[in-house]
Chain A
Amino acid sequence: MTEQVIGGRIIAETGMTDQAARTDFHPRWYRKRLSTWWWLGEWHYLTFILRELSSIAVAWFVVVTLFQLRALSHGPETYARFSTRMQSPLMIAMNGVAFCFVVFHTITWFDAAPRAMPVRMHGKRVPEYMVAAPNYVLWIAVSAFVSWLLLRTP
């Protein structure tokens, strides 16, 4: 009995140890294992997982862009081949899905901003849409500028 108490005290003082002292009533951890599909049940969880998955679309876009840059650096013929490959149904489908995910990321990111950084003015909290709105204005402006750069005839 005394031995057990001492064993317990040593653990309490040193924090975690590799060798837990053996007791007659050794606690068993209760860990309920979640199913891999726990997020399918509720809308809230589903949007969370979709937001996490949107990062794959982001990475996909960067990888495609790196291939595009490589093709551009290899010359006009390689770039023409790259452009043809981008027209394949598989690439269109992948980019279509990725585009939906990326727009989902943008919207959820902008809408989360006022909650992550609440803005106060004269002691009152500025309404969320007032904080999110400038993000959308900036988004449209940047998109318009990029389009103009690429579409103007040199």
Chain B
Amino acid sequence: MIKEMMEKPSDEAFFWLLFSAGGVVAALLIPIQLFLFGLAFPLGWLPQPGYEHLIALLHSPLVKVYLFVMCSLPLFHWAHRFRFTLYDGLQVKHLNELFFVLCYGGALLGTALAGYLLWTI
């Protein structure tokens, strides 16, 4: 079944669409988010937003949607690129199906976790 999914051109187009949408979202949103939370706040370059401020933001449905999209689509972007990196880089053809399942399984798991966390916050 997975082998068929990997080979049917229409499905490949579907995965490419997810890859592409994730690429746009990652390109637009991740640099600033990573710069602020990964570098600027921890290194004290900019004043860190307080816990209350972040929770208040997180209670807005728009912010929830924003964060959900920011987590989910880039994971599918990663799954697409990374599985081809594994296919071409490792060149162990008989494991390609496993790579496929691990990459998209990972993306689905991350999406589910993001959905759960944002829903329950």
Contact = CB atoms under 8 A, between A and B. Distances in A.
Nearest to A96: B39
Interface residues of A, number: 52
Contacts of A69: 58, 67, 114, 117-118, 121
Given A56-B78, A61-B34, A72-B121, A105 B26 contact: yes
Interface stretch (B1-9, B80-88, B94-102): B80-88
B contact face: mostly helix, strand, loop, or mixed: helix
Chain A interface SS verdict (over half):
helix
Interface string B72-93: 0011011011101100011100
Contact of B82 (A55, A68, A99): A55
Contacts of B65: none
A86 B24 CA distance: 26
Given A72-B51, A92-B43, A96-B39, A65 B121 contact: no
A65 B58 CA distance: 13
Contacts, number: 152
Nearest to B113: A66
A99 B34 contact: yes
Interface size, B (range): 35 or more
Contacts of A36: 89-91
A65 B67 contact: yes
Nearest to A113: B24
A110 B32 CA distance: 16
Contacts of A92: 38-39, 42-43
Contacts of B23: 105, 109
Interface stretch (A4-12, A15-23, A122-130, A145-153): A145-153
Given A36-B89, A59-B75, A69-B114, 11 more contacts: A36-B90, A58-B77, A62-B75, A63-B110, A95-B39, A102-B26, A102-B31, A109-B27, A146-B36, A149-B57, A150-B57
- Rank and list the top 5 A-B pairs by shortest CB-CB distance, nearest first: A95-B38, A55-B81, A143-B32, A59-B78, A106-B27
20 contacts: A36-B90, A55-B82, A56-B82, A62-B70, A65-B37, A66-B114, A69-B118, A70-B117, A72-B54, A83-B42, A95-B39, A95-B42, A102-B26, A106-B31, A109-B26, A110-B27, A143-B32, A146-B32, A146-B36, A150-B36
